[in-house]
Structure 1
């Protein structure tokens, strides 16, 4: 059975995984995009969007590792898009254009049902209305023994941590302050839940931390 992983989830120095007031213009909330600036110039990030070149080194190595052995993905409704409540229609198809970078099944946690959404490149979004355990069960079946990556946002990761369902978590601590936004660890006692830091690596821009379940 594959692992359940979190990879390159970025947090500010004051513990926020996204800024406040997510919108169509601000997908990561106000100031949230700044948490990802370290990755924009890497070779892996450039390749994701069909571009050549980019930097190598520690940051790029962690990005490469984040795509290894993946068979399925899980994300929260807010990460899929800014629409709240019932789906007014099926026009919204995510932030990523016709060919999202996942290329395998993605299970979206939501309270409102919607038909599966097939995209180019092998990505299919499945909308799961019966909770995190049901989403994980479906993801395991789809992954066929490979790993499952929990993308976020912060609330989704918290739920899986509190249920001790995350096997390994790669956090990128970014030397920025957001002041407010989506906190990652509110109400989560990682020590009590049996997690510990097993690796830390500093690049020129950020601190990479690996947290694993004991």
Structure 2
């Protein structure tokens, strides 16, 4: 596992350009600028020379690896975890602009530098049924339109994986939900059609991301380790032994206490 700078050349560049150094003397404001500049290198316009990538962004897990708590339902969409897995993100400018309001003023620090990449270059998302709705099984009706109101924050087509397909749902702001009974490979093929050359985000939950990892279909991941212990719920890492052999891993610790881990496919 590596830390902030993957090569000596990048470290020297950051030291000279941003006056940032690794270790205890790291200036977090300068680090945020460095990460933000890296994020800007990802163009929002698809290039014919660049293959679309499959990405995970801003997915939070507890120290013991749970991506959601036990007891998900309408009143508690994250189960007994409450909002604790998201507390690092709520103050960021990106999440506040998506409608996740927080009492604090919008921040532009390290957490925002990572959060801001959430939608950069994304043309479609794939999510599990539990991310879209509080219950599994047949739909009692088609009145449920997601957790996010009439104008969800995605602004792209979204594939919802479910054993109970229903007609597509068009929302405001460019979001459309497409309900598909399919495995990871078939869902990804459909997402590529909808994304029109842009990248595809695997939005969660934990079991959906795990299935795509097991199928070796993810190119890049941003996982946020939150310093809480949940003890029960849906774990991300089960059955993924030796995952580190497939990815180059970098980590950055934020003043908020979370660890931003970025996984890049080797080769």
Q: What interval of TM-score do these two structures reach, taking the shorter chain for normalisation?
A: over 0.9
| Aligned mates of 2:243, 2:142 — CA distance in 1 | 42
The answer to whether the aligner puts 1:186 opposite 2:267 as a matched pair is: no
Following superposition, the deviation at residue 188 of structure 1 comes to 1.1
The CA deviation string for residues 112-150 of structure 1, in whole angstroms up to 9 with x for no partner, is 110000011110000011222121111111111111000
Runs of 4+ in 1 over 3 A off after TM superposition: 50-53, 190-193
Tell me which moved more, 124-133 or 45-54: 45-54
Tell me which moved more, 93-102 or 49-58: 49-58
2:159 to 107, 124, 128: 107
2:147 to 89, 95, 113: 95
1:165 to 217, 232, 252: 217
Q: Secondary structure at the match of 1:113?
A: coil
Q: Secondary structure at the match of 1:40?
A: coil
The answer to whether the aligner puts 1:26 opposite 2:71 as a matched pair is: no
Tell me which moved more, 21-30 or 46-55: 46-55
Following superposition, the deviation at residue 67 of structure 1 comes to 1.4
| Aligned mates of 1:11, 1:156 — CA distance in 2 | 14
The answer to whether the aligner puts 1:17 opposite 2:67 as a matched pair is: yes
The answer to whether the aligner puts 1:62 opposite 2:108 as a matched pair is: no
| Aligned mates of 1:130, 1:11 — CA distance in 2 | 26
The correspondence of residues 1-214 of structure 1 with structure 2, limited to 5 A, is 1-49=51-99, 54-191=106-243, 194-197=246-249, 199-205=250-256, 206-214=258-266
- The TM-score, its normalising length taken from structure 1, stands at 0.95
Q: Higher Cα Rg: structure 1 or 2?
A: 2
Cα pair 2:159 2:177 within 8 Å, conserved = yes
The two structures, once aligned, show a CA RMSD in angstroms of: 1.6
Count of matched residue pairs: 213
Q: Secondary structure at the match of 1:156?
A: helix
- The TM-score, its normalising length taken from structure 2, stands at 0.77
The CA deviation string for residues 9-58 of structure 1, in whole angstroms up to 9 with x for no partner, is 10101110000010001111111420111111111111111879501111
Q: Secondary structure at the match of 1:78?
A: helix
Tell me which moved more, 159-168 or 24-33: 24-33
* Ranges in structure 2 where 5+ consecutive residues have no aligned partner: 1-50
* Ranges in structure 1 where 5+ consecutive residues have no aligned partner: none
Q: Secondary structure at the match of 1:107?
A: strand
Asked which structure has the greater RCO (Cα within 8 Å, sep 6+), the reply is 1
Cα pair 1:164 1:193 within 8 Å, conserved = no
